[in-house]
Structure 1
Amino acid sequence: MARRVVTLVPEYLARSGSLFLFIGPSTPCSTCRYRGVCVDNLVEGRVYEVLQVIPKKRFRCPLHGADVVPVEATTPLLEAALPERMARIGAIVKFSPPQGCGVDCPSIDLCHPPGLRAGDKVRIVEVLKEKKVECPRGERMVLCRLEVQEV
């Protein structure tokens, strides 16, 4: 199970099921008194899902110029294309997006999904064989649901 973290998000994201990609702290975050709970416990480049809102608390955010709300969040299962030979439920593999994919590739979002980086360890939770992944380079790829294994 992915670890849960408490963080601060803008009010418009403070809904159970909302997803956000943490791209890293901005300049105003370096001196913010809420940095420890807001950005320090998030991993840059990861997608997070809001599990629940922590009620009755609000904080003014200098970056957003509005209130932020504490939430409990986790890294959700992510869908990505993997080579068919690696796609075994329960296996922990190192994510390695195919090389040579161009922006014109119809499956680029599955081969290079937001929230996953080359070298990430992932556990294969489900193989979605009914969903075909088109590869113009001829590789046999399948869509999988993956759980990022935090170090």
Structure 2
Amino acid sequence: MITLIGKDLAKEGQEFVFLGPADECENCRFKSSCVGNLELNRKYVVVNVKENEQKCPIHSSGLVIPVEIDRAQIDVLTASKNIFEGSTFTFNAPDCDEVCEFHDLCFPEGLQEDDKCLVLNNNGKHNGECKKGFKLNKLTLGFVI
């Protein structure tokens, strides 16, 4: 998928979470090719940087550049069982209101409730202690199916 990103951010491997368009995007002639294909609260990674800069008032460099993006891989901690590399499962956030050092892995940016996920890597049991007593596995997820 192609989108536009600030020139200073246009680097292969750069990850970002799309949090929605700025107000200035509403009447921009590049809106459909810039933010039109992006899903709110999804995590993306830049896989190829193109040429052809365009002016853009919302980026610090004042310029955007076309980039090819894919959904980014996401690391997650889950108590789901019977998960192996290549399997799919439905993501459901844990029933947890604890604030701890693992919160961002249990509730990762870019992953939403009931997403169908592909397990790229099962990194095994998580060594940290869960305050709720959950036995957690650390997974790397590919694109959401």
Deviation per CA, 1:1-47: give whole Å up to 9, x if none: xxxx1000001111111111110112111111001110011111011
Aligned to 1:48: 44
CA distance in 2, matches of 1:11, 1:131: 38
Identity %, equivalent residues: 31
Aligned to 1:132: 127
Say yes or no: does 1:100 pair with 2:96.
yes
Q: Tell me, which stretches of 5 or more residues in structure 2 are unaligned?
A: none
Deviation per CA, 1:91-113: give whole Å up to 9, x if none: 2111111112322x221011011
Aligned to 1:123: 118
CA distance in 1, matches of 2:88, 2:11: 31
User: 1:84: Cα distance to partner?
Assistant: 4.7
CA distance in 2, matches of 1:106, 1:64: 32
TM-score by length of 1: 0.88
CA distance in 1, matches of 2:114, 2:77: 15
Q: Tell me, which stretches of 5 or more residues in structure 1 are unaligned?
A: none
Matched letter for residue 134 of structure 2: E
Q: How does 1:2-151 map to 2 (within 5 A)?
A: 5-55=1-51, 57-64=52-59, 66-103=62-99, 105-129=100-124, 131-150=126-145
Equivalent residue pairs, number: 144
User: 1:130: Cα distance to partner?
Assistant: 6.1
CA distance in 1, matches of 2:70, 2:36: 14
For the structure 1 residues 133 and 124, does the alpha-carbon distance in structure 2 shift closer, same or farther, using more than 3 Å as the test? farther
Q: Secondary structure at the match of 1:132?
A: coil
8 Å Cα contact 1:48/1:76 also seen in 2? yes
User: 1:148: Cα distance to partner?
Assistant: 3.1
For the structure 1 residues 24 and 86, does the alpha-carbon distance in structure 2 shift closer, same or farther, using more than 3 Å as the test? farther
Root-mean-square deviation over aligned CA pairs: 1.6
User: 1:88: Cα distance to partner?
Assistant: 2.2
8 Å Cα contact 2:78/2:137 also seen in 1? yes
